[in-house]
Structure 1
Amino acid sequence: FGVAGIGGIAALIASIFVASISAQQAMISLTVVLVGTIILSVFTLKFVTAGKFWRAFVLGDKLNAEGGYSSANAGLVDYLGQEGVTITPLRPAGTMEFADGERLDVVTEGGFVPARARVKVVKVEGTRVLVREIKEE
């Protein structure tokens, strides 16, 4: 709701009292409106969620590990520890190339890495591959 929602509800309640002739009439009107809103909301939720219209918008299947779902690309873990060369500058994201010619979008640990610098894959988080520059000594 927030401040705007609470303020709107307060304004609606105040408008019922201002528009009414007496406080008793305002309370009756407010009670009828609240009860009607609750009943209408319950019936709407009950009938809308049971229909085909609702199933078109809501995913009914659960995506879990037991069902074979994985949000991470399991193949990316194989790159862990491998070294390659940056094709583009990494600031902090860019592209690197491995010795076999395979290219991969990677992210640095936060710093700038120039193009054609040697980097090593140090971490894989889901689909995010984190690299660190290999400093020549």
Structure 2
Amino acid sequence: MPYPAFYLNGWEALLIFMIGFLALLVEILVIPGFGLVGLAGILFMLFALYLALHAPGAVLAALALAILVAAVVLYWAWRRMEEKRLLNQLILTDNQESKAGYLAPDPSWQKLVGKSGLTLTPLRPAGKVEIAGQVVDVVSEGEYLPGGVKVTVIKVEGQRIVVRKEKPGP
């Protein structure tokens, strides 16, 4: 069988294959989706295989063998993970229940906006404040506030109650 006019040695074919592989990595890790870079990477890799094997039939046979081996290895790995219960370690199966300490935002916290309180602990920027006889965890706007300072609730964002130091009045 005559070689094509663009026949290259093994090093050039390996270099073209590596360029295609790097293009696929860029597509997977950097650019979301499947686009031009990924397609170019696949074409470069197929072209490198054609150059290395010198025959389209051999390239197709090598691809079919590679796909078959990959499928067998993936099936074997999946079965091993099931046997050793490794999938349960990779998948989050816990529920976030209130008895475990997870709390949904309390709608009554919205009523705290505009109310004043006294810091029980220093806010660095998080700490505890007593507001209307209730001790709540709060966050300052980012500044350090020592304990015993009067604060006002300025907003409530889900579980987060944000306070600001009250300005001294006349």
Q: Cα offset for 1:44?
A: 1.8
Q: Which runs of 5+ in 1 are unaligned?
A: none
Q: Is 1:135 paired with 2:167?
A: yes
Q: Which amino acid aligns with 2:150?
A: R
CA distance in 2, matches of 1:68, 1:94: 24
Distance in 1 (alpha carbons) for counterparts of 2:121 and 2:101: 29
Q: TM-score, normalised by structure 2?
A: 0.49
CA offsets 1:26-79 (integer angstroms, 9 cap, x no match): 11111221232123213322x1331225156235744144x845533889x88x
Q: Count matched residues.
A: 128
The alpha-carbon deviation at position 132 of structure 1 amounts to 3.0
How far apart are the structure 1 equivalents of 2:120 and 2:99?
Answer: 34
Q: Residues of 1 paired with 2:100 and 2:40: CA distance?
A: 43
Question: Which of 45, 48, 52 is the aligned partner of 2:84?
Answer: 52
Matched, 1:18 2:41: no
Q: Partners of 1:107 and 1:124 in 2: how far apart? A: 13
1:85 offset after TM fit, Å? 3.3
Q: 1:72 aligns with which of 103, 107, 124?
A: 103
The 1:2/1:103 distance shift into structure 2, 3 A limit, reads same
TM-score, normalising length: structure 1: 0.57
Larger Rg: 2
SS of structure 2 residue aligned to 1:57: helix
Look up the equivalent residue of 2:103 and give its one-letter code: A
Which protein, 1 or 2, shows the higher relative CO under an 8 Å CA cutoff with sep ≥ 6?
A: 1
Q: How far 1:119 moved relative to its partner?
A: 0.9
- Aligned-pair identity (%): 10
Q: Which amino acid aligns with 2:76?
A: F
**Residues in 2 aligned to 1:60 and 1:95: alpha-carbon distance in whole angstroms:** 30
Change (3 A) 1:114 1:69: closer
